[in-house]
Amino acid sequence: MLTRDFLMKADCTTAFGAIEASLLWSAEQRAASLAATLACRPDNGPVWIFGYGSLMWNPALNYSESVTGTLVGWHRAFCLRLTAGRGSACQPGRMLALKEGGRTTGVAYRLPDDEIENELSLLWKREMITGCYLPTWCKLALDDGRTVNALVFIMDPRHPLYESDTSVQVIAPLIARASGPLGTNAQYLFSLEQELQKLGMPDDGLNELIHKVRLLVGGVNPPGLA
């Protein structure tokens, strides 16, 4: 289970599994990325984080408010080769990211004004281990009618772990087989399915993948979804 306490104590060189040294970002690189992102902050209003994957059911953040919302212009795609966490170099899986086009529903979290840098530092330790995402400020339509600027982690297509082929026949067997220190790749997919159902956010683009992976792992959800 990826908990807040785990993230605070984690040694990034070992906690998530064996990560190729050339890909692993140092604490200094993460800090520089965070500083650059904050320098591009579009306004002095509240900082919102948009969760479209595990941040929806396991944010591990201190936040003042959470609201469901929709991001236009991007869609979910398992386009990140997963070699740590819930996969390994010898049995890689696929992790969720965002690719251009379509729309994505998820959960937005407003960070407390006096804890922004501490919370973002923890978030960078979780999401930017290899610098695979482009942290981007995007307009987000909240379901309560507000429009906010939210920080969104979008896949960097120039990253060595980026995979352009996200066809079900390619990625379903990878997700069904992969596992690592944080659990199985299939657990992640089924947790995503459960959370989307709970929030009333159907994502039809995932249905075929979920069905195929469930067949490959034996037709049942693995225990301990988190």
User: What gap in Å lies between CA 90 and CA 17, rounded to an integer?
Assistant: 12
Sign (positive/negative) of CA torsion 132, 137, 140, 142? positive
Rounded-to-integer distance, Cα 198 and Cα 40, Å = 34
Q: Residue 219: is it exposed, middle or buried by C-beta count within 10 angstroms (0-12/13-18/19+)?
A: exposed
- 52, amino acid identity: Y
> 39, 163 in Cβ contact below 8 A?
no
Residues serving a catalytic function are: 127
Q: What separation, in Å, do the N-terminal and C-terminal C-alpha atoms of the chain show?
A: 6
Say which DSSP state 25 is in.
P
In angstroms and rounded to an integer, the radius of gyration of the C-alpha atoms of the chain is 17
Tokens of 53: 């994957």
111 touches 120 (CB < 8 A):
yes
> Which helix H or strand E contains 199, and what residues bound it?
helix 185-199
